[in-house]
Structure 1
């Protein structure tokens, strides 16, 4: 059914946009698109989770029978929710309703208009440290060529946000209170594909501190997070055949775990352990700093017990702050001494734990899952920085993509600055456009029965011959050779 919808809508929208564009001068197409894109992007500045079919614009959506023609929203009916007739369409196009203008989204607009374009923000150095090393190493890039994610970039699974909300719910706190000012509904929270930002996670932590009186809240939340909640990242941790390799993997791929700080593993002659440096500095927000540390300690212990057995017990917990009066980890909770006022935050354990044989280790499965995690890291890197924002804007109307000048105006910068920022990510506007078109084309060829002509027009090509030439340049194959054989 979805394939049929995609085919029909692609044909209909292709004709609509071609007819509309013929009456415009080429120089005005990008300008017209930039006006819609700018409003849409500033209202909802989240990157898409994956490459999907091209997205209908406001005018195209109004051509649908389910749309209220007076709707102020570019993507939704006036009710703000899809009508029953709209649901299959929005599933096909992977769309969702524009979120309410919460504090998190107002903050997001501010970050996007200032910090993300200038490269300066309080969280930027910590994000560069956490993200650049892991991703850069996987992709063969140096830190200088990797743009770090912005604090408002929605890149991460909602695992940690869900854990916070669920623990608060267990204490009698309503979901709507726990999610207030976060910009995520309870329905979206547990839906696959929902992505959140570091800003949203930090806001959720602040909200939890405000609502709960539990003196052990952050540790309890961390203890509720298990390897099963981390998807492929957790599965790789579980099926590793060597615990030392497990530790290396966990730290090297930590970018997949919605990191709220930098983790480092080390081993000596007598013990081994983790250190944790939160993304928030203690001098900036001491309570949030402590919350993040104790949350991560809870995660450390929970994951170690998942893979090493429920009897795992650390030998020492070290905290780089004085013992507070409001909330803290206690020896009764963790089963080992807790030292306050040390030089760093971390957890130590007897290194003999690393010599044990993993119960669920499987070499073949680990290799396959590690390869999937490499793909996830690569996908994550494509959605960060300025290049990620350009991709998002291009996908909003891949049939008639905005010009470089229009995108620069939408992002509040100049074309010269935008070109320079893309060069820092080892890419260019032309490369991003070709990449978007090639990925969408391959998706159509693999998953739909659309003709080459329909695909060509849906991607903005003037005729099918130009599309065939471009596709061969992208893949080395013709569209016919790439399309899977039809079942007889």
Structure 2
């Protein structure tokens, strides 16, 4: 984005998202927030095709653990099946992938059921870029689809997108898609393509399902932690609801926002105390506590001992 004269920091401030999402790919960002982020980035750069251009810059090793897991499948057809298994999740909330065969051609479509419209076409272009990159792992980096179908109005200019995608563009469709030869489905990883980053999981990396209220809320609380102590109004806004409604939904599942925050902070606190020599004061600040004494009292309430005592016991002292 800097190459196009934009400021990443300014965009993130405008959409109220932490810079950490650029450095920690495992962080989960709700789809509606992705829409807003891409729309703001497009305005910042003055590029009406920002999502499409970004999609062509994506490589499989940049797609997080999930993307790497998808691209470790034995064939392209299996990789597409993996993508279908995992993409209807928080990172791409309400995403529907569909494969249809028409003789010797495949149409791989990507539909977002999320009702938000601002920034939608940028995210659709980005998603098409993800799909194309998966195919390129098995067909070679120079591969391009036969046709890219978009949801832009049928009279929209085609030439700019044809230059970006390197393929024929067809506008006016209900669902974006790429079309290519069905003969590629049996392809194994192309010899000239670098293998995706190693994935420690032996199966699909865990990503919370849209219907899992506790996991999706916890995922956004994790995101909020990078902005300081998690606030319910921030988390509710990112989930597209109100604090009152969020508390009610959590109550129906036998918990509360405060309980979820405590669980997250305790998990992070234990990890930091066990796995580092970072001073307790610094850990408290990292977890969003302005006063380290508040963190010590909270940790004692959670575990019955002080952070220092826990670290000493964990180290075998």
**CA apart distance, 1:355:** 0.7
Q: Is 1:358 paired with 2:189?
A: yes
User: Could you report, residue by residue, the CA deviation over 1:405-459 in whole angstroms, capped at 9, with x for unpaired residues?
Assistant: xxxxxx8549xx94x62365x4435985995697468647844799xxxx99833
Q: Is 1:239 paired with 2:66?
A: no
CA contact (8 A) 2:54 2:126 kept: yes
- Name the CA shift for 1:456/1:215 in 2 (closer, same or farther; >3 Å): closer
Q: Is 1:294 paired with 2:121?
A: no
Partner of 2:238: none
- Name the CA shift for 1:301/1:320 in 2 (closer, same or farther; >3 Å): same
Distance 1:350 1:233 in 2: 25
Unaligned runs of 5+ in 2: 231-241, 280-295
TM-score normalised according to structure 2 size: 0.63
Partner of 2:105: 271
**CA apart distance, 1:264:** 0.8
- Name the CA shift for 1:208/1:230 in 2 (closer, same or farther; >3 Å): same
Alignment equivalent of 1:313, drawn from 135, 140, 144: 144
Residues paired across the two proteins, number? 275
Distance 2:153 2:29 in 1: 32
- Name the CA shift for 1:443/1:209 in 2 (closer, same or farther; >3 Å): closer
TM-score normalised according to structure 1 size: 0.44
**CA apart distance, 1:173:** 3.1
- Name the CA shift for 1:361/1:239 in 2 (closer, same or farther; >3 Å): farther
SS in structure 2 of the partner of residue 173 of structure 1: coil
Unaligned runs of 5+ in 1: 1-165, 398-410, 468-478
Alignment equivalent of 1:459, drawn from 300, 305, 308: 300
SS in structure 2 of the partner of residue 228 of structure 1: helix
Q: Is 1:342 paired with 2:170?
A: no
CA contact (8 A) 1:243 1:357 kept: yes
User: Could you report, residue by residue, the CA deviation over 1:328-380 in whole angstroms, capped at 9, with x for unpaired residues?
Assistant: 76445434432222343211211111111224899xx77x4344712x548x9
Partner of 2:6: 173
CA contact (8 A) 2:56 2:165 kept: no
Alignment of 1:59-138 (within 5 A): none
Distance 2:261 2:214 in 1: 13
Distance 1:396 1:461 in 2: 17
SS in structure 1 of the partner of residue 205 of structure 2: helix
Distance 1:315 1:290 in 2: 20
SS in structure 1 of the partner of residue 98 of structure 2: strand
User: Could you report, residue by residue, the CA deviation over 1:272-301 in whole angstroms, capped at 9, with x for unpaired residues?
Assistant: 23212235659x55xx44333323223322
CA contact (8 A) 1:382 1:388 kept: no
